[in-house]
Structure 1
Amino acid sequence: MKLHCKPVAAAIRAALVTGTFAVLAAPVMAQEDAARLDRVEVTGSRIKKAEIEGQTPVSVITREQLEKTGLTSVADIVQQLTGSGSSLNTKFNSSGNFGFPSDGSGVGAGSATVDLRHLSSRRVLVLVDGIRWVNESSASGVSSSVDLNTIPVAIIERIEVLEDGASSIYGSDAIAGVVNIITRRTFEGTQASVYYGEYEEGGDTKSGEISFGGAGDNFSFFLSASSTEQDGIDSNRVEQAAFPVPGTGVALGSSFTPNGRFIFVDPNTGIEQDITTPNGQFFPGGPSYPGDFIGFTGANRFNFAEFNLLQTPSERKSVFGQARFYFDNGVSWYVRTLYNQRESLNRAAPEPISLGPGSGNSYADNALISASNPFNPFGFDLISSGPGANLIFIGRRPVEGGPRRFFQDVDTWYFATGLEGAFELGDRSFIWDLNYARSKNEADQTNFGSYNIRRIALALGPIENCNADPNCVPLDIFSGPGSITPEMLAYIQPIVRDRSENNLQLFSANLTGDLFELPAGPLSFAAGYEHRVQDGFYLPDALTVAGEYNGVPSLPTFGKYDVDEYFAEFNIPVYANEGSQLDLSAAARYSDYSTSGGDTTGKFGFRWQFGDQFVFRGSIAEGFRAPSIGELFGSAARNDIDIDDPCLIGIDGSQPTANCSAFGVPTGATQTNSQISVTTGGNPNLLPETSDSYSLGFVFSPEFGTNSAWSEKFDIEFTYYNHELEGAIQAVDAQTQLDLCVANGVSSPFCQGITRASTGVIDSFNNRLQNFGQIETDGYDLDFFWTLPETDLGQLKVSWQNTIVNDYRAVDDLGTPQPQAVGFEVNDSGIPEWTSNLSLDWSYGDFTAGWRLRHISDLEETCGRATQFSVCPDPVNNRNHIGSTSYHDLQLGWRAPWFDGTQLTLGVNNVTSKLPPICLSCSLNGYDASNYDLPAGRFVYARAEVKF
């Protein structure tokens, strides 16, 4: 296989090889009075040495800080970091509405991920105790992201977040950074806690946990069990979420209505009809044509939003344990194991039945509604394709079958074991470890409320075909809500079951210590080897595989790969005196993938300390991310995306923006459905995406702010970051591709994969993954930490953390800019220019209090389909301003004298009951669920914790 070797990696590749074998094969130089290395491993370096801390910008969330958030999900906590981007959480209710994203990951309710620097959760590596965690399976795909809801808060000692490229240290996926979750190891006694929280609009969360641990002369252990239950909140509880687009009523609702929408050419008159029956009216004997039918208008559209969920219900249960045994020779053996179960639900409006060209299914595309069907009111055949074709579109929402409900049952298993020890070679101390881990994430999804499109077509077709099937019941979609009887439903409504699984198995060996003494100090190193095997599959229901599923079609996915990796890292002291010290760091990793071959990445860094007050640091790092199982092997599936077709009359009545006769679009053709089906799926020809990351910054702890009258400790941290990705694995933005196709004509390369039916509607749209082009982003972190001196009134601590995104730019292979940019909301995801967290924490004896301000700067978006409505403030430029938003959180705590460490906590998040700004382009619930709190009012919570 081809070896990819980049400049920085090439420069230090010799160091990787010679440094590793020098340690293993040759004795080191003796030094008198050599001190034993401290066993401190900091995220961002494999060298276990206390002096390494501070070389890279790492944010640490302590257990105390975790509890002060009032949140029960790791993802919800990490997503509030200022450097976090848009990622999935339990405020998304998406499984049944959109289908399959292009990366093959699927979408499952109850899952929650983390994004750093707005580079996607796929480019963040999640570790637990320094070891890679298994990726999620959503029951609808094979993901390359970690579901943080598989890791209970109860077992966490702290979370370390490195927002810097770290592929040379940890391997693939660490392009945007690393989240390292450190579990609780040393614990004496028993701790139990209960938690209850609730929004003003409902959706309560209940949690309980019990932990205990102990230690003897040669062992220690920690055990924990926890349960968290989160109730759902209906979208119709909140005004801005109760309609498809806030401020437009049902005018931008769905064409798929309980009364049906029927567009066809009457063969008797040659006139095109676009008709329905009056809203909510049921015709027991069937409607008469044309007398009982009326013209379809915006007032007849269906409000699907009220069936959705603002917050998806879920229940998580977890058991975790770890033990460590110490032997006389200095070797220790550890064992860690976890089982986590999640049961979750999301819900969508009753599944629509679409018939006619461009419906996205061969049975629907070629439907024949026969005149012999006893419920056909028109007296003639409605034919979708072939000779005599006259059917353009039928949309019927069978409310009789109830809403779609997607139940997920997700199990995560994790086992890890290993040996750690130290040895002397000459007068040098070296630390080694051997690790083995095996983990599995498996998910089952059961879908109620969907339909069998083959049986629908049979039940609508010629009566003799239906009679040939003894189970077939002729179907009535014409007589209004209530026309589909239980017998009809029993024939066309199945239960759909899907499964998916992700497995990870790894072995690693590491060695760290001092090689020899330099004038400025010892040259330290770490070196190691890791072998990983990753496999996964997605198996949709047999009905789906057969092409009979009326919902979003997909095919199975199976894949496996293995990787061998070797790395070396060095810390090189260059200069040191009483007032200054300069250290350089270098690292390289070689990774050999069974799917994409070899790749070498390197990293250079420096840390220059001036006295006790100032540290200047920076790094240059190469990164890469190998394509995942879903991205490589994901089979063809469908994703229904909100796209405005510039060739068609909009559903809001807006006229086409282009003359598309060259594309075969007839004059007056209408876009009946705002969601256009695009074909997604993996690409076996994908190459690894590569990156260059740069960081430069300082830590300033001024002497005048240390142990002075006004300050006990005062720190300022500043970091500039820049990430540049080449060959990013991504799909082209579908709206952008369609707009450029229309603008540049039929021969445009942007039109490849886009075809239209004779009616003018798009009937195929290929939107598969590719090595995309370039993504570049840069910005600044500026943080202040101030601890005031303790007085008779207690002690106050202040922290103010800020991220400013200077630029975000993505272009495809042809150099075409994609729509995502700083200050803009696109596809339910916005990149604020400035995010800020300001916290004040006060303590006085047994009492504590805290106030936190979370700020998100303003954004802009297109008004989308709402351009014609007054809710769009700038219809001329098609722009809506999403104002800046600030949330205030309060918390009070009291350490009671009972037992030894009883803690009572009461808190309120979003004290002012701030509603998120209205988003007109967002797909569900009228706001961006990745950036803002739920529009459900204040969240009040209480926690009681007892230790004994």
Structure 2
Amino acid sequence: MKTIRTSRLSQAVRGALLLAALPLAVAPLAASAQDSAEEIQTLDRIEVTGTRIKTAEAEGLVPVQRIERADIERSGLTSIGDVIQSLTGSGSALNTKFNSSGNFGFPPDGSGVGAGSSQADLRHLGSKRVLVLVDGIRWVNEASASGVGSSTDLNTIPLAIVERIEVLEDGASSLYGSDAIAGVINIITRKNFDGLSVNAQYGEYSEGDGETGTIDVAWGHNTERANFFLGVSYSDQQEIFARDRAQSSFPVPGTGVAFGSSGTPTGRFIFTDPNTGVTYDITPNTGNSNPVFDPTQTGCVRTDGYHCFATADRFNFSQFNLLLTPSERTGAFGQGRFQFTDSTSGYVKVLYNRRESTNQAAPEPIFLGPEAGTGNPIADGMFISRLNPFNPFGFDLDGRLTTPAANRNLILIGRRPVEGGPRIFEQDVDTWYVGAGLEGVFDAADRTLYWDVNLAISENKAEQTNYGSYDIRNIALALGDPAACAAVAGCTPLNIFDGPGSITQAMLDWISPVVRDRSKNELALFTANLSGSLFDLPAGSVDFATGLEHRRLKGSYNPDQLTVDGFYNGVPSLPTSGDYDVSELFFELNFPLLADSDWGKKLDFTLAGRYSDYSTGISEFTPKYGLRWQVVDELVLRASFAEGFRAPSIGELFGSASRFDAQLNDPCSSPLLNPGLAGNCAALGVPANYQQPNPQISVTTGGNDQLDPEFSDSFSAGFIWSPSGLENSAIADRFDIEVTYYRHEIEGAIQAIDAQTQLDLCVNTLDALYCDGITRAATGGINGFNNRLTNLGQIETDGWDIDFFWTLPETSIGQFKVSWRNTLVGEYRAVGAAGQLQPQGPGIEVVDSAIPEWTSNVSTEWTHGGWNAAWTVRHISELREDCGNAVSFPVCSNPATSTNVLEATTYNDLQLGYRFESMANLRITLGVNNVFDEDPPICLSCSLNGYDASTYDIPGGRFWYLRADIKL
């Protein structure tokens, strides 16, 4: 049995130690208002995220949040993805709190499960609609080892190389191209760094687990005409088992094993006796490893070692799951910049990053028979010979489709071979990046023009190795005629009928392969840009930027040959590969309309546009318009409107048929069947009093080469106000308010209809639009569910960012700074192509993701001499979810409306540090996140561990850390 990797340097690291908004303007979302206001009035920066014009006068047209390196260090987080996910405007996305292999299966977009990755979602529009840049250059998409990823894995970028992160939460297709519908994350690397710094951090949870250690080494050297930077980063995060926390030790707290699996170590057997016509749903008694079936005992009161299967017999798979997945990352980054002449310079960048991560799932269940619904014809059509030496029933169990329906007597067998140990999924992900460029400045017609050309080649390559899964072909042979088994070398008859321990090592050797899947994403691009001033107007010069970009994307996914042949007992999939290239031209113009007039100090209008031509046949032009009005020194209004689009990704276009296992409630299942639906269920072939045997239903997904692009409209408006009466006053050095209204509309969003919604609509309407692709066995259970990608009707969302920044005067006890950042979601509405409303919405928890109506972060900083401290409060407002079949449990807070309330949650984080200037500027920092040990609210609809891992901290644990920083 394979075990989870252990730390290699953990011990070394341990020892190293609401105002009324003016609907005319836009403000940076959460950049320090003080910094923003200063940048409005000064021209000390020439390049920012959100504009391609290299002059600070065009800065600030859109909401950009700047996260400085000091902000990252104050958080105690060791992953860029975790930093981004902590922002109030972020939505649900994968991270290392998701134990995302195993039954998660394959999402419809062909991207795979992204196991071990950390992604970013802005405005709850999905990670594939967020563009990630490094120094303004597009970053390669993730390699998940189980598909062709369409999102970026932020764990491929070492934290040690980051100078700051700029987050643009506005549509930006006209500036940066496809994928920027929801916004842009631009990671700025460290460049002008001189000297050597070493940062080491060790932390763990108060339960004594989840140890995390990091070591970052940065070196830089500057000469008159060159500067060099080298950064090396190592991070090691250890696992936490779900069984080690009360809240996650069962699938859903307070429900026991009701949400457990019918694939149990003793086995569940549903079949019809061909001799009597009696149908059984039985399981061996606990502790009885060799029951003797008595066909004369047809009821549930039995003396033959069996009893009727009941809820209490279900299997608690949570005992094997991970609450926090282990992840080990090693990265190195180097860059050199050279000043060739007074007007021309060049650079070279190289990055390598390796991630070794692990997911673990419960021992893989073997589901056999038509009600198994695995999508594997061998499993669903299983035949078990009466001659099998371990078959206790004395007759064939036949589920073959070639057998006449009246003679098929196998309905469902669920047996979980705990003898084989848990499923272990190990990911090895390698990322390469090489970039080079030239940049310079020249004068033409008394105008200064800036130019640059850039070339970048990058690759993400992943391999996932799976231990603990099974070969369904060998299982079928081992359950069939012993003579046929004996004719194949190594075949050993299989005993799935008795309790734990009945499957011997010889049996395991025959059915247990090692499964290896591989995937790769490649990106090559060339860009050329020109920026400067065109001519003068009375209010100032007209500035411009223009350029071209050509990029080629190539992706592939190659599952193990066992999977391709259809013999893998787990999630089936087929190979995927594809590529395309795109050529683009863009422009941006900034027109000064007024300056120092009765209408205010300055009014600018910005126009941008990009034309994109894809080799897949897509050609689009996307414009953007912006206004920036500095009314007075202390008040700036801003607004922007942008059209955008996102071309289908490789996985969305070319992804082959695969599967994910969804937790679905069949509306036709008793005893929860709505009497008004009885006729519809009968029309679908569901017998009266049908009870759903297994809530885990396999849903087939896949790409669609007929997909159209997504189109979007994005609008934002707001202001930044710095009251002059408070500046340098007795109560404030500075006080700033930023307000932003945002709205995004996406037409033709590429998405599959929510599977539960599709099933509900099918039963409610009997419409072929929803029912086509959903098939049922003769017993009534769903044995086929086709849920493919389509251009969904529409997604609309809007809301507000309201932020306050207060710098108090310095006194004898030090100086305080307070920042309070808030995001309020007003609307989120997703509608299917045929008008069906999807379940997501403000204040709703569904499918492991949440859209809180209000998220808020308050940070208070204190500095005094060498001392510094910070107190951060993170708040998530109340959420609601549908209780589904859990309506009878006490954890369903309002059974009358089948609604569970996830109460508002507030976390408190503290940090204290001191710098010893006499000791090489050594700074020691001690921090504790979640000081008051706040547990996340119980989530009934979440698929693992009873809580939403993308929204909340893990249950049961303060996280403390100690960090040492040395600068030489």
- Mark yes or no: TM-score above 0.5: yes
SS of corresponding position for 1:876? helix
Bigger shift: residues 558-567 or 201-210: 201-210
Aligned length: 910
Residue matched to 2:654: 633
SS of corresponding position for 2:473? helix
Bigger shift: residues 194-203 or 416-425: 194-203
Q: Tell me how far apart the structure 2 counterparts of residues 532 and 159 of structure 1 sit (CA, whole Å).
A: 24
Please state if 1:152 is matched with 2:146.
no
Assess, with a 3 A threshold, how the Cα gap between structure 1 residues 656 and 915 changes in structure 2: closer, same or farther: farther
Residue matched to 1:228: 235
**Offset, 1:727:** 0.4
Question: How do 1:193-592 residues align onto structure 2 when only pairs under 5 Å count?
Answer: 193-201=199-207, 202-283=209-290, 291-357=304-370, 358-385=373-400, 386-387=403-404, 388-577=407-596, 579-592=600-613
Q: Which amino acid aligns with 1:688?
A: P
**Offset, 1:468:** 2.0
Residue matched to 2:752: 731
Assess, with a 3 A threshold, how the Cα gap between structure 1 residues 87 and 505 changes in structure 2: closer, same or farther: same
Encode CA deviations 1:678-706: one digit per residue, 9 max, x unaligned. 11111000111000000110010111121
Bigger shift: residues 784-793 or 567-576: 784-793
Residue matched to 1:754: 774
**Offset, 1:39:** 6.2
Q: Which amino acid aligns with 1:356?
A: G
**Offset, 1:648:** 2.4
Assess, with a 3 A threshold, how the Cα gap between structure 1 residues 654 and 351 changes in structure 2: closer, same or farther: farther
SS of corresponding position for 2:210? strand
Q: Are the equivalent residues in 2 in contact too, given 1:140–1:500 (CA < 8 A)? A: yes
**Offset, 1:525:** 0.2
Assess, with a 3 A threshold, how the Cα gap between structure 1 residues 280 and 43 changes in structure 2: closer, same or farther: farther
Q: Which amino acid aligns with 2:180?
A: A
Q: Which amino acid aligns with 2:556?
A: F
SS of corresponding position for 1:577? strand
Q: Are the equivalent residues in 2 in contact too, given 1:281–1:481 (CA < 8 A)? A: no
Q: Tell me how far apart the structure 1 counterparts of residues 83 and 849 of structure 2 sit (CA, whole Å).
A: 18
Encode CA deviations 1:641-662: one digit per residue, 9 max, x unaligned. 1110112237x99999644111
Question: How do 1:61-210 residues align onto structure 2 when only pairs under 5 Å count?
Answer: 61-201=67-207, 202-210=209-217
Q: Are the equivalent residues in 2 in contact too, given 1:109–1:408 (CA < 8 A)? A: yes
**Offset, 1:670:** 2.4
Residue matched to 1:709: 730
- Which of 838, 844, 851 matches 2:871? 851
Q: Tell me how far apart the structure 1 counterparts of residues 611 and 540 of structure 2 sit (CA, whole Å).
A: 28
Please state if 1:664 is matched with 2:685.
yes
Q: Are the equivalent residues in 1 in contact too, given 2:374–2:697 (CA < 8 A)? A: no
Residue matched to 2:813: 793
- Which of 892, 899, 908 matches 2:928? 908
Please state if 1:695 is matched with 2:716.
yes
Residue matched to 1:52: 58
Question: How do 1:817-828 residues align onto structure 2 when only pairs under 5 Å count?
Answer: 817-828=837-848
SS of corresponding position for 1:872? coil
**Offset, 1:900:** 3.9
Q: Are the equivalent residues in 1 in contact too, given 2:604–2:628 (CA < 8 A)? A: yes
Q: Are the equivalent residues in 2 in contact too, given 1:103–1:631 (CA < 8 A)? A: yes
Q: Are the equivalent residues in 2 in contact too, given 1:365–1:384 (CA < 8 A)? A: yes
**Offset, 1:462:** 1.6
Bigger shift: residues 892-901 or 224-233: 892-901
Encode CA deviations 1:219-265: one digit per residue, 9 max, x unaligned. 10000111000000000011111112210111321110011000011
TM-score under structure 1 length normalisation: 0.95
**Offset, 1:596:** 3.7
- Which of 850, 854, 857 matches 1:837? 857
Q: Are the equivalent residues in 1 in contact too, given 2:848–2:941 (CA < 8 A)? A: yes
Q: Tell me how far apart the structure 2 counterparts of residues 281 and 865 of structure 1 sit (CA, whole Å).
A: 31
**Offset, 1:898:** 3.2
Q: Are the equivalent residues in 1 in contact too, given 2:677–2:764 (CA < 8 A)? A: no
Bigger shift: residues 657-666 or 526-535: 657-666
Q: Which amino acid aligns with 1:705?
A: L
SS of corresponding position for 1:81? coil
Q: Which amino acid aligns with 2:361?
A: A
**Offset, 1:193:** 1.4
Q: Are the equivalent residues in 2 in contact too, given 1:265–1:391 (CA < 8 A)? A: yes
Assess, with a 3 A threshold, how the Cα gap between structure 1 residues 655 and 354 changes in structure 2: closer, same or farther: farther
Assess, with a 3 A threshold, how the Cα gap between structure 1 residues 222 and 899 changes in structure 2: closer, same or farther: farther
**Offset, 1:863:** 1.3
- Which of 728, 741, 749 matches 2:762? 741
Assess, with a 3 A threshold, how the Cα gap between structure 1 residues 286 and 531 changes in structure 2: closer, same or farther: farther
Q: Are the equivalent residues in 2 in contact too, given 1:459–1:473 (CA < 8 A)? A: yes
Encode CA deviations 1:301-327: one digit per residue, 9 max, x unaligned. 111111100000010000100100001
Q: Tell me how far apart the structure 1 counterparts of residues 869 and 911 of structure 2 sit (CA, whole Å).
A: 6
Q: Tell me how far apart the structure 2 counterparts of residues 337 and 936 of structure 1 sit (CA, whole Å).
A: 41
Give % identity: 61
Q: Are the equivalent residues in 2 in contact too, given 1:754–1:764 (CA < 8 A)? A: yes
- Which of 898, 907, 918 matches 1:878? 898
Q: Tell me how far apart the structure 2 counterparts of residues 163 and 281 of structure 1 sit (CA, whole Å).
A: 60
Residue matched to 1:602: 623
**Offset, 1:942:** 0.7
**Offset, 1:547:** 0.1
Q: Tell me how far apart the structure 2 counterparts of residues 102 and 239 of structure 1 sit (CA, whole Å).
A: 33
Q: Tell me how far apart the structure 1 counterparts of residues 232 and 276 of structure 2 sit (CA, whole Å).
A: 72
Q: Tell me how far apart the structure 2 counterparts of residues 790 and 238 of structure 1 sit (CA, whole Å).
A: 44
Residue matched to 2:937: 917
Q: Structure 2 regions of 5+ residues with no counterpart?
A: 1-41, 298-303
Q: Which amino acid aligns with 2:583?
A: D
**Offset, 1:915:** 0.3
Q: Are the equivalent residues in 2 in contact too, given 1:215–1:221 (CA < 8 A)? A: yes
**Offset, 1:329:** 4.2
Q: Tell me how far apart the structure 2 counterparts of residues 656 and 477 of structure 1 sit (CA, whole Å).
A: 41
Bigger shift: residues 517-526 or 353-362: 353-362
Bigger shift: residues 660-669 or 809-818: 660-669
SS of corresponding position for 1:240? helix
**Offset, 1:328:** 2.0
Q: Which amino acid aligns with 1:362?
A: P
Q: Are the equivalent residues in 2 in contact too, given 1:583–1:606 (CA < 8 A)? A: yes
Superposed CA RMSD = 1.5
Encode CA deviations 1:511-551: one digit per residue, 9 max, x unaligned. 00000001000000000000000001000000000000000
**Offset, 1:800:** 0.3
Q: Tell me how far apart the structure 1 counterparts of residues 292 and 121 of structure 2 sit (CA, whole Å).
A: 54
**Offset, 1:814:** 1.1
**Offset, 1:288:** 6.4
Q: Tell me how far apart the structure 1 counterparts of residues 265 and 676 of structure 2 sit (CA, whole Å).
A: 28
Question: How do 1:7-22 residues align onto structure 2 when only pairs under 5 Å count?
Answer: none
Q: Tell me how far apart the structure 1 counterparts of residues 919 and 134 of structure 2 sit (CA, whole Å).
A: 32
Q: Tell me how far apart the structure 1 counterparts of residues 527 and 318 of structure 2 sit (CA, whole Å).
A: 49
SS of corresponding position for 1:705? coil
SS of corresponding position for 1:221? strand
**Offset, 1:864:** 2.4
**Offset, 1:669:** 2.6
Q: Structure 1 regions of 5+ residues with no counterpart?
A: 1-35
Q: Are the equivalent residues in 2 in contact too, given 1:288–1:377 (CA < 8 A)? A: no
Q: Which amino acid aligns with 2:449?
A: F
Assess, with a 3 A threshold, how the Cα gap between structure 1 residues 493 and 788 changes in structure 2: closer, same or farther: same
